[in-house]
């Protein structure tokens, strides 16, 4: 009788284990994000700002994007949100800021767009 109970219990336990180990925000194992939902207003504001300040020729766009980060891709923006905040907000006014000197740092309004989006969850749908 004990043997008949053990195998089904093991199978059920394994099923719970493997289904509970999935990523909940679309993040994949390689650090990229597969978020194919409709962009929300906060993300859209960040994407527009990044399109004119970051995803420009010679910087973070296309196959030769700086550091391999193509910010014309929405999934890259979502996956790199912490790095974006550090470089564009936390390090503004330093030699490490993005956009890089001699370009001016982002305006306070543009920095707030990044902060508001990340505070709301930093998802494509936010």
Domain-embedded: residue 18 = no
- Residue 19 located in a structural domain: no
- Residue 36 φ/ψ, nearest 5 degrees: -100, 20
pLDDT at 120 exceeding the cut of 50:
yes
The answer, yes or no, to whether residue 25 has pLDDT greater than 80, is no
pLDDT band at 5, cuts 50/70/90? Answer: low
Token output for 99: 């956009």
Q: Is there a domain that residue 88 lies in?
A: yes
Better-scored residue on pLDDT, 70 or 31: 70
Q: What is the pLDDT of residue 15?
A: 46
In a domain, residue 8? The reply is no
Domain that holds residue 112: 34-126
Examine residue 113 and state whether it is found in any structural domain, yes or no: yes
Residue 42 within a domain: yes
Give residue 103's pLDDT band: very low, low, confident or very high (50, 70, 90). confident
Report residue 16's pLDDT band, with 50, 70 and 90 as the boundaries.
very low
Assess if residue 28 is contained within a domain: no
Domain total in the chain: 1
Domain for residue 9, yes or no?
A: no
pLDDT, one tens digit per residue, over 64-99 is 899 999 999 999 999 999 999 999 999 999 999 999
């Amino acid at each position: 009788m004990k043997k008949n109970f053990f195998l089904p219990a093991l199978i059920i336990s394994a099923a719970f284990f493997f289904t509970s180990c999935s990523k909940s925000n679309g993040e994949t194992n390689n650090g990229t994000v597969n978020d194919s939902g409709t962009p929300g207003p906060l993300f859209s504001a960040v994407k527009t700002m990044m399109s004119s300040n970051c995803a420009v020729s010679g910087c973070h766009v296309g196959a030769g994007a700086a550091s391999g980060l193509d910010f014309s891709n929405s999934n890259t923006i979502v996956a790199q949100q912490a790095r974006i905040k550090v470089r564009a907000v936390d390090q503004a006014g330093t030699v490490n800021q993005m956009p890089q000197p001699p370009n001016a740092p982002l305006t306070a309004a543009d920095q707030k767009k990044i902060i508001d989006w990340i505070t709301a969850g930093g998802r494509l749908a936010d």
